[in-house]
Amino acid sequence: MPEFPYSRLRRWPDVEAENLQAYDATDLLLVDRALALAAERGLDGSEIAVIGDEYGAITLSLTDAGLRGIRVHQDLATGRRALARNAAELGIDGFSAHELAPSLLDGARVVLLQLPKALAELEEIADAVARWAATDAVLVAGGRVKHMTLAQNEVLGRSFGVVQAQRAERKSRLIVASEPKEVPVVSPFPVTAEHEGLTLVAHGGAFAGAKLDIGTRVLLDVLGVSRGGALRQAQGPGSGEGPSWVAEPVEASPTSPTVLDLGCGTGALAVSYALAHPDARVIATDRSAAAVASARATVAANGVADCVTVTHDDAASEVPTASVDVVLLNPPFHLGASVHTGAATRLFEASARVLRPGGELLTVFNSSLGYRSELTRLIGPTEQLHRTPKFTVTRSIRRS
């Protein structure tokens, strides 16, 4: 059998660069172990599930090797689109996409996992495998050695009786978990937390979990929106009770303003804005399926389902051009485990496309990144609203 053409895989529509590949050594180790287990257990592809296959390297390689019917779950919309594009480019079919749900794992005897960064996400996945997969299921999890910790073994040990780390190869390592344990009747996810009148709901893969991350707090303060959504009056200089630089609201459209929370996470910005501006039409979008599920639950928990719509999308690709009055953005500065500003640039470009002329982009970012000149170039005139040693908030006006 010819060797699978990994070099033909692309990351598109995710960021592409010379130092960013569409596969890694962990993918290759997982494929090799899956082929060995399939031969040993006499499995076909319908008994194999793949979780976290970033751009399709695992799924497509195994399907190309004759294992038909593999089920795959990818959290990111970019990964889902890359898998579909790579499959079409290589002429490979015979697999199916699923959410992290019983349909993904029912009857699965081998589950392959690219280890996620967050322990909470790993915990939710491990619980799902133990809960829904076959009683003799084996979970083979892999990652780059430099990103692996003993805590991952401990998390897997909560759901599996046997957890064995394998010898490292090519700077990657596999962990094999077997003998699924009995799971609690109620799944531990999603989790819920209260923040001064704002209820946040989070699945394991959502950034910051049910906490209110620091950047979001800063942006909410600048907007003059409390956690519970009420508008606050700006405090005078030196009052010590709050910011004196609360942003003036954007000039509204003739109809109800349209506000986009781009990269919404658990939905804290979208829901807080909707509570403070019940006349607004708010769209919350994120490329993470875990974030989208969390945001939808947050919207429901705060009673704003009538004015907030949550979508799973990549860089607002489904939002019409020049249709938005305000974009709220707390951009990521990582691509997977790599620090890379390309993810933020894509969201700035998306903001430029969806904003109407004169519309506003309100952004919070790490002060060390210095995005102001880039925002001016891509969006329009940009002013600094607030700066701390850690975070900067800017307002950019979309040029005509």
Closest CA to 177 of 226, 238, 127, 231: 127
| Token representation of residue 323 | 């249709």
> Looking at residue 332, what is its pLDDT?
78
> Looking at residue 342, what is its pLDDT?
67
CATH class, range 6-180: alpha beta
| Token representation of residue 332 | 């990521």
| Order of strands, sheet of 110-114, starting from the edge strand that comes earlier in the sequence | 95-97, 70-73, 48-51, 110-114, 138-144, 172-180, 160-165
Strands 258-262 and 324-329: parallel
Task: Report residue 246's pLDDT band, with 50, 70 and 90 as the boundaries.
Answer: very low
> Looking at residue 19, what is its pLDDT?
83
- Identify whether the C-beta of residue 287 lies closer than 8 Å to the C-beta of residue 184: no
Residue 302: is its pLDDT beyond 60? Answer: yes
Q: Which residue has the higher pLDDT, 215 or 370?
A: 215
Match 């004169």 to its residue by tokens: 358
| Token representation of residue 148 | 């692996």
> Looking at residue 14, what is its pLDDT?
86
What fold, for 191-397? Rossmann fold (3.40.50)
> Looking at residue 174, what is its pLDDT?
98
* DSSP element (H, E) containing 328: strand 324-329
> Looking at residue 110, what is its pLDDT?
98
- Residue-wise pLDDT for 26-70, tens only, equals 999 999 999 999 999 999 999 999 999 999 999 999 999 999 999
Residue 127: is its pLDDT beyond 70? Answer: yes
Residue 241: is its pLDDT beyond 70? Answer: no
> Looking at residue 313, what is its pLDDT?
96
Q: How many whole angstroms separate alpha carbon 41 and alpha carbon 38?
A: 5
Residue 125: is its pLDDT beyond 60? Answer: yes
As to burial, measured by CB atoms within 10 angstroms (0-12 exposed, 13-18 middle, 19+ buried), residue 158 is middle
Find residue 285's DSSP bridge partners. 262, 311
- Residue-wise pLDDT for 87-114, tens only, equals 999 999 999 999 999 999 999 999 999 9
Mean pLDDT of the chain: 91
- Identify whether the C-beta of residue 75 lies closer than 8 Å to the C-beta of residue 44: no
Q: Which residue has the higher pLDDT, 228 or 42?
A: 42
- The ranges of the chain annotated as CATH 3.40.50.150 are 6-180, 191-397
